[in-house]
Amino acid sequence: MSTRRVIMFTKFERFWHWSQMTLIFILLFTGFAIRGTHSLMSFETSGMLHTFAALALIVLWIFAIFWHFTTGTWRHYVPTSNGLFRVARYYAFGIFKGEHHPYRKTYQRKHNPLQALSYLGLKIFLFPAIWVSGLLYLSYPMWSNLTAGKNWLEGVATIHVISAFAILIFIIAHIYLLTTGHSFKEHVKPMITGYDDVDLTEAEESYLQQDEPGHIKPEVTIK
């Protein structure tokens, strides 16, 4: 294998990532305002923005799910135990000892085993939990007359808040990991330009050069 600089994040992927980030930060900021954590925004304004951002994020997720399945990109999120414990050990101990990251990106798998497992959990559990609880919260007037409506509302609110804090913890961990290993710029740049350094087999390199010449930088050979 040779390590080459290729397009690993398409335009839609980058648009999805930064749009999702922006909407989630708006949701967190307005959510804290709704709960009275800060008074930088009125309850009415924060409620309106929170609802708008939530609906926009749901639409974005629907398009992202469709894109992942039609392009086959979902395969990058399939968890594997191969190398999982080595990566987990690196983040738990090795990173503090200056050890090299045990995982090398490949064209077919851009996320290390721990990343794939974390992202899959986020998409299968946390996002649906906050999505469903938020829609139930928003549609409360439609089922408020049910006998146990008020009790259910409390449960829905609890699930929504817990899911939101879990996502906030994930974001904090995500940002922290961006500061480890390589420089922060090197971690973030691929999600801006789309290019990243990955290991290519001879077949993959030949395919990119012949069929996707714009996805590989032939003038840059890393190794």
CATH number at residue 209: 1.20.950.20
pLDDT at 92 over 80: yes
| Residue 66 φ/ψ, nearest 5 degrees | -60, -45
Question: How many structural domains is the chain composed of?
Answer: 1
Note the maximum CA span of the chain: 69
pLDDT for 221 equals: 45
Domain that holds residue 165: 2-221
Please count the residues of the chain.
Answer: 223
pLDDT for 26 equals: 97
pLDDT for 222 equals: 46
Rounded average pLDDT over 176-195: 80
pLDDT for 31 equals: 94
d(CA 42, CA 30): 9
Percentage of the chain exceeding pLDDT 70? 95
Rounded average pLDDT over 9-38: 94
Across the chain, mean pLDDT equals 86
pLDDT at 223 over 50: no
pLDDT band at 207 (very low <50, low <70, confident <90, very high): confident
SS3 180: coil
Greater confidence (151 vs 193) lies with 193
Report which DSSP code applies to 122: I
pLDDT in tens, 146-163: 777 777 888 898 999 999
Contacts for 179-186: CB closer than 8 Å, 24+ residues apart: 180/95, 181/95, 181/101
pLDDT for 203 equals: 84
Neighbours of 34 (CB within 10 A): 13
pLDDT band at 165 (very low <50, low <70, confident <90, very high): very high
d(CA 69, CA 62): 11
d(CA 47, CA 24): 14
